[in-house]
């Protein structure tokens, strides 16, 4: 297919994307568009430097390969390079989404009717405080191809579609936006969600009417499965991305495998094979996804790798090299990351808190040693019961301490597919999951 230059490692990654975006607000269509993009990234490695370029004209890939190769120094031992030894050489054809569930077959009429239906039956326009409402439909379908001078030839696809229905409630000049966002792999899975949407809108209306400002401080808290999902991603997931510790002696000693890093109730896993938002059967270096247990019963047991980090740390690749588009260079990223279910009953977890905070959901977070979560909705817990909604701006904790402070892990694991993760300027789709957990101390502001 391509003529790869001798004595250099070369790879070609081609992507074809189909996007649809439909948005209506206050009964007026704000966006209604569909577009396609095609592009390729070409990379050449000579054992010292990577040279890369992009093109949107697939007929020019060979020209780009030759141009980049002219910048590199030929290296007759390139395939003995430890990093290149870790690149995949698989041949695979995993096309799952070209049948009747192909999101590209959803008609404009179908998506508009779905959003209109949810708005008609879920949004109560008689609510005095509601000043705006809207709904969106979004879908993407991606076909990726990967070819390398090691012989890799992979073709795989992925698709997602999502719906959001929300409203703005204004109470005493303060606007609360709230709603339900759900994502699925097929159009059918987006249907029949009326009850979830109604409940979520009611919950946000209650928050808008009754939320009180939190008194900043440290609190025992119970995280819902959705909050645990973000907590897992931010509190530990990012620390497992081993490209941060390539030549760093301090971090290697801090995160040595076998070290106790949390409560025995805590186990965390990443798995790109799960058909969720981070589904990546082959990563962007042609390596196959696998289940990687990062923590088992509180002990550090694994970390996430691309070819470079695996060679630097002399560990195995895990299929976690991902780029957010054909224009981007891959790096170590999470895929579908979750805290495993425990044995505790969620009701009993809540009942074990006399005075604390229930975190119902979260908006976003960050994952350094001090990790952060910005909550959507929080509630006061008194005598084991959920009470009034609280207005909380940010929750913080220490990765070195918080995993030890988990004293209950529920049996109600859920995976959430609406996560996007940012790192070094790239934003990638991931899923995150977890059960209800109780943490003895987190800081609320």
Partner 1 sequence: MRNLYYMKMMREKYTLRGVISAVGIEENRIRAFNRRNEQYFSFRVLEEGYLGVHFQIGEMGDEEGYARARQNLVLKRPYPFTLETGRRSRDLTQRVLTDKQLLEIAKEALDHVRSRHPDFTLNGGFWQCVSDSGVENDRGLAYSDMDCTTEFRFSFKHRDSRELIDGRFSIGQRDFDAQKLYAMADNYLAGFGTEQKLPDEIIVQMQYYDLLGLLAGSLNAESMCLGTSLLSGRIGEKLFADHFSLAHDVSADECWNTPFFDGEGITRKGDRLSYIENGVVLRGYADKRIAAKYGVEHTGSALRTCSDIPNNGNVNLRIQRSDRTIRGLLNGRLSVVPIRYSGGGFNEKGDWVMPVQLAYLCDGENFLGRLPEFTLVSSMFDMFGKDFIGVGSDNPVFHDKSILVRMRTGKI
DSSP assignment string, 210-278: H-EE---EEEEEEE-HHHHHHHHIIIIIGGGBGGGGTT-HHHHHHT-TT-B-S-TT--EEEETTSSSTT
With CB under 8 A as the contact rule, the residue among 73, 131, 259, 385 that binds partner 1 is 131
Range 308-327, binding partner 1 (CB under 8 A): 327
Tell me if 89 contacts partner 1 by CB under 8 A. no
Tell me if 192 contacts partner 1 by CB under 8 A. no
Dihedral over alpha carbons 340, 346, 349, 350 (to 10 degrees): 140
Q: Which is nearer to partner 1, 131 or 188 (CB)?
A: 131
Q: Which is nearer to partner 1, 185 or 377 (CB)?
A: 377
Tell me if 126 contacts partner 1 by CB under 8 A. no
* Cα–Cα distance measured from residue 43 to residue 224, given in angstroms and rounded to the nearest whole number: 43
Tell me if 409 contacts partner 1 by CB under 8 A. no
Terminal Cα-to-Cα distance of the chain (whole angstroms): 58
- Using DSSP bridges, classify how beta strands 336-339 and 268-271 pair: parallel, antiparallel or unpaired: antiparallel
With CB under 8 A as the contact rule, the residue among 249, 256, 314, 383 that binds partner 1 is 249
With CB under 8 A as the contact rule, the residue among 70, 89, 210, 370 that binds partner 1 is 370
**What's the chain's length in residues?**
445
Residue that is written with structure tokens 């077959």 in the block: 105
Q: Which stretch binds partner 1 (CB under 8 A): 270-278, 284-292, 348-356, 394-402?
A: 394-402
CA atoms within 13 A on the CB side of 8: 26
Q: Which is nearer to partner 1, 43 or 265 (CB)?
A: 43
Q: Which is nearer to partner 1, 99 or 173 (CB)?
A: 173
With CB under 8 A as the contact rule, the residue among 3, 6, 30, 89 that binds partner 1 is 30
Tell me if 247 contacts partner 1 by CB under 8 A. yes
DSSP assignment string, 307-374: HHHHHHHT----S-EE-SSTTS--EE--SEEEEPP-SB-HHHHHHT-SEEEEEEEEEEEEESSEEEEE
Minimum CB separation of residue 59 from partner 1 in Å reads 11
Helices (H), 3-139: 61-71, 82-85, 108-122
Minimum CB separation of residue 343 from partner 1 in Å reads 31
Range 261-300, binding partner 1 (CB under 8 A): none
Minimum CB separation of residue 423 from partner 1 in Å reads 10
With CB under 8 A as the contact rule, the residue among 50, 79, 293, 404 that binds partner 1 is 50
Strand partners, 35: 19
Minimum CB separation of residue 359 from partner 1 in Å reads 14
Name the strand (E) or helix (H) holding 195.
Answer: helix 194-210
Q: Which stretch binds partner 1 (CB under 8 A): 43-51, 290-298, 338-346, 347-355?
A: 43-51
* Cα–Cα distance measured from residue 14 to residue 313, given in angstroms and rounded to the nearest whole number: 30
Q: Using alpha carbons, select from 307, 270, 302 the residue that is nearest to residue 289.
A: 270
Tell me if 420 contacts partner 1 by CB under 8 A. no
Tell me if 77 contacts partner 1 by CB under 8 A. no
Q: Site size for partner 1, by CB under 8 A?
A: 65
Q: Which stretch binds partner 1 (CB under 8 A): 185-193, 195-203, 216-224, 429-437?
A: 216-224
Q: Which stretch binds partner 1 (CB under 8 A): 24-32, 221-229, 258-266, 333-341?
A: 24-32
Tokens of 428: 């990638």
- Using DSSP bridges, classify how beta strands 355-367 and 217-223 pair: parallel, antiparallel or unpaired: parallel
Q: Is 346 left (phi over 0), alpha (psi -120 to 50) or beta?
A: alpha
List contacts with partner 1 (CB under 8 A): 19, 21, 26, 29-35, 37-39, 49-57, 71, 108, 131-132, 168, 170, 173-177, 216-218, 238-239, 244, 246-251, 254, 327, 329, 365-366, 368-374, 391, 393-394, 396, 400, 443-445
């Amino acid at each position: 297919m391509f003529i790869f230059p001798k004595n250099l490692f070369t790879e070609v990654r081609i992507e074809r994307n189909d996007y649809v975006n439909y948005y209506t607000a206050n009964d007026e269509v704000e966006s209604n568009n569909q577009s396609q993009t095609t592009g390729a990234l070409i990379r050449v490695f000579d054992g010292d430097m990577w040279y890369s370029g992009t093109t949107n004209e697939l007929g020019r890939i060979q020209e780009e390969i030759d141009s980049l190769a002219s910048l590199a120094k030929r290296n007759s031992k390139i395939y003995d390079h430890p990093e290149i030894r870790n690149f995949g050489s698989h041949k695979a054809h995993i096309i799952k989404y070209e049948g009747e569930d192909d999101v590209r077959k959803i008609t404009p009429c179908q998506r508009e009717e779905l959003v209109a239906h949810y708005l008609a039956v879920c949004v109560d326009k008689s609510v005095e405080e509601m000043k705006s409402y809207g709904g969106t439909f979004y879908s993407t379908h991606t076909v990726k191809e990967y070819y390398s001078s090691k012989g890799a030839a992979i073709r795989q696809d992925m698709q997602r579609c999502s719906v959001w229905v929300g409203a703005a409630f204004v109470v005493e000049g303060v606007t609360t936006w709230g709603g339900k966002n759900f994502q699925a792999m097929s159009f059918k899975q987006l249907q029949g969600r009326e009850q979830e949407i109604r409940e979520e809108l009611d919950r946000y209306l209650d928050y808008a009417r009754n939320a009180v400002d939190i008194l900043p401080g440290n609190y025992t808290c119970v995280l819902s499965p959705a909050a645990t999902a973000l907590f897992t991603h931010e509190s530990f997931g990012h620390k497992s991305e081993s490209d941060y510790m390539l030549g760093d002696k301090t971090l290697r000693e801090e995160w040595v495998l076998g070290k106790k890093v949390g409560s025995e109730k805590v186990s965390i896993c990443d798995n790109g094979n799960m058909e969720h938002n981070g589904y990546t059967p082959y990563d962007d270096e042609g390596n196959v996804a696998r289940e990687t247990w990062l923590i088992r019963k509180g002990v550090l047991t694994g970390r996430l790798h691309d070819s470079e980090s695996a060679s630097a740390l002399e560990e195995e690749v895990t299929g976690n090299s991902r780029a957010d588009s054909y224009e981007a260079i891959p790096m170590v990223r999470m895929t579908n990351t979750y805290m495993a279910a425990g044995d505790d009953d969620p009701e009993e977890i809540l009942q074990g808190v006399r005075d604390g905070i229930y975190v119902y959901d979260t908006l976003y977070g960050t994952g350094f040693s001090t990790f952060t979560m910005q909550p959507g909705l929080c509630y006061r817990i008194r005598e084991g019961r959920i009470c009034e909604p609280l207005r909380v701006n940010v929750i913080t904790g220490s990765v070195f301490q918080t995993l030890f402070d988990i004293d209950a892990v529920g049996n109600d694991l859920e995976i959430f597919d609406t996560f996007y993760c940012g790192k070094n300027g790239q934003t990638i789709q991931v899923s995150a999951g977890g059960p209800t957990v109780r943490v003895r101390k987190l800081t609320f502001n």
